[in-house]
């Protein structure tokens, strides 16, 4: 079944916003907007930082493609507003978006479901201001080992992240992360290979796209290298043993379903070098769609062009109340070529 673009109605591509990732969101949104228009979709740019969301209803938009990143974009807030406006939107619903945006809450859910994720310690504001703050900070490396990762739990794009190699770096790392978030997440460092895996669909119909292996210079997969240089190498096909790739795809779909995600998403993982065990780092519910972004790269390996991917994601737009399970559209928009290339639906 082919999706007729005109049946998708008037579409708002939400981009920009007011988060720390505004610059990347504008890049993602511009790419999505051009792709949708090239396929005959009646798509228009809409920046929530410059316009009230209620204008979406007044101007007759039938659905929204959320190309926002970070706070007020993928944390459940804009999703909640669109639920009230009754305008279907791409990606996960309110609860799944809110949980996935908070890496501490995500870990708690995954750990409860016995999914592998690095050990962690959350530092609340009172932990950093108390009389014994220094002792508490220095106790973290004792618990998690060195090196370790310190980051704001509700930011993305590697913003505010530090790899701490020694006790003396803890204070500065925590202060940097605290500039972006009240809480600070300290996480066990997993030595090994970094990979990412995208998912399309909902519920039993969700399936993983091919895994991408990320090779960054000296492991520096930071904000600058993610979006503005070409020094990072992306391997897709990943080159991993078939059994490893299959297990990562299975694990990611399980993690995606556990959080209640829908539409699309992308999980980031580390494969521990000493035993090849994969560890889930985070789930992105509104992944980047720039020229350096990973979901389009994975989709291409599965036989889907950037333009087809954008229409696919848009066609899955929904409201929380309207999602009761996989629909006929899930199978139609996935198409046999994408499913076959990705190895079929995961259990």
Ordered by start, the domain boundaries in the chain are 5-91, 100-116+191-342, 120-188
Strands 10-14 and 42-46: parallel
User: 157 an active-site residue?
Assistant: yes
- pLDDT of 264 over the 90 cut: yes
pLDDT digits (tens, 9 = 90+) for 167-186: 999 999 999 999 999 999 99
Q: Judge whether 60 counts as a catalytic residue.
A: no
- Is there a catalytic annotation at residue 21? yes
As given in the structure block, the two tokens for residue 21 are 């990732």
Catalytic choice (70, 260, 265, 288): 288
Residue of 268, 307, 312, 330 marked catalytic:
268
100-116+191-342 shares the fold of 5-91: no
The confidence band for 159, taking pLDDT boundaries of 50, 70 and 90, is: confident
Residue 43 contacts residue 65 (beta carbons within 8 Å) = yes
Active site residue 225: no
Considering the domain 100-116+191-342, what is its CATH architecture?
2-Layer Sandwich (3.30)
Specify the pLDDT at position 157.
Answer: 59
| 234, burial (CB in 10 Å: exposed 0-12, middle 13-18, buried 19+) | middle
Q: Which fold has domain 5-91?
A: Rossmann fold (3.40.50)
Residue 168 annotated as catalytic? no
17 is catalytic: no
Catalytic residue among 25, 92, 97, 157: 157
SS3 state of residue 147 = coil
Q: What is the pTM of this model?
A: 0.88
Are the beta carbons of 48 and 72 closer than 8 angstroms? yes
pLDDT in tens, 129-139: 777 788 889 99
The set of residues, in sequence order, having a beta carbon less than 8 Å from that of 59 and lying 6+ positions away, is 10
Of the candidates 92, 97, 238, 284, the residue annotated as catalytic is: 284
The answer to whether residue 131 is catalytic is: no
May I ask the CATH architecture of the domain 120-188?
Answer: 2-Layer Sandwich (3.30)
Set 19, 21, 22, 155: catalytic member: 21
Question: How do 207-208 and 212-215 pair as beta strands?
Answer: unpaired
The H-or-E segment that residue 163 falls in is strand 162-164
pLDDT band at residue 220, thresholds of 50, 70 and 90? low
The average confidence (pLDDT) of the chain is: 89
Whether 227 is a known active-site residue: answer: yes
Q: What is the DSSP letter of 285?
A: S
């Amino acid at each position: 079944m082919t999706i007729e673009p005109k049946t998708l109605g008037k579409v708002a591509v939400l981009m920009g916003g007011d988060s720390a990732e505004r610059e990347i969101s504008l890049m993602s949104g511009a790419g999505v907007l051009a792709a949708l228009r090239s396929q005959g979709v009646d798509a228009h740019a809409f920046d929530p930082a410059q316009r009230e969301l209620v204008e979406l209803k007044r101007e007759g938009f039938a659905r929204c493609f959320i190309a926002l990143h970070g706070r007020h974009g993928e944390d459940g807030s804009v999703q909640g507003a669109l639920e009230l406006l009754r305008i279907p939107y791409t990606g996960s619903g309110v609860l799944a978006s809110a949980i996935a945006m908070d890496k501490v809450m995500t870990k708690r859910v995954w750990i409860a479901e016995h999914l592998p994720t690095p050990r962690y310690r959350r530092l609340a504001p009172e932990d950093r201001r108390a009389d014994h703050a220094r002792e508490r900070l220095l106790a973290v490396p004792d618990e998690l080992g060195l090196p370790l990762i310190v980051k704001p739990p509700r930011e993305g794009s590697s913003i505010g992240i530090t790899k701490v190699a020694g006790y003396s770096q803890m204070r500065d790392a925590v202060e940097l992360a605290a500039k972006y978030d009240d809480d600070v997440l300290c996480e066990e460092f997993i030595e090994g290979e970094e990979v990412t895996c995208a998912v399309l669909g909902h519920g039993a119909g969700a399936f993983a796209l091919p895994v991408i292996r990320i090779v960054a210079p000296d492991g520096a997969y930071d904000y600058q290298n993610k979006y503005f240089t070409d020094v990072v190498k992306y391997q897709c096909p990943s080159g991993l043993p078939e059994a490893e790739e299959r297990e990562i795809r299975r694990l990611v779909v399980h993690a995606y379903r556990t959080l209640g995600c829908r539409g699309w998403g992308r999980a980031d993982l580390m494969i521990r070098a000493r035993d090849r065990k994969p560890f889930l780092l985070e789930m992105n519910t509104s992944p980047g769609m720039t020229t350096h972004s990973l979901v389009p790269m994975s989709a291409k390996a599965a036989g889907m062009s950037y333009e087809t991917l954008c229409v696919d994601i848009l066609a899955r737009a929904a409201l929380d109340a309207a999602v009761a399970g996989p629909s006929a559209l899930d199978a139609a928009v996935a198409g046999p070529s994408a499913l076959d290339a990705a190895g079929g639906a995961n259990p």
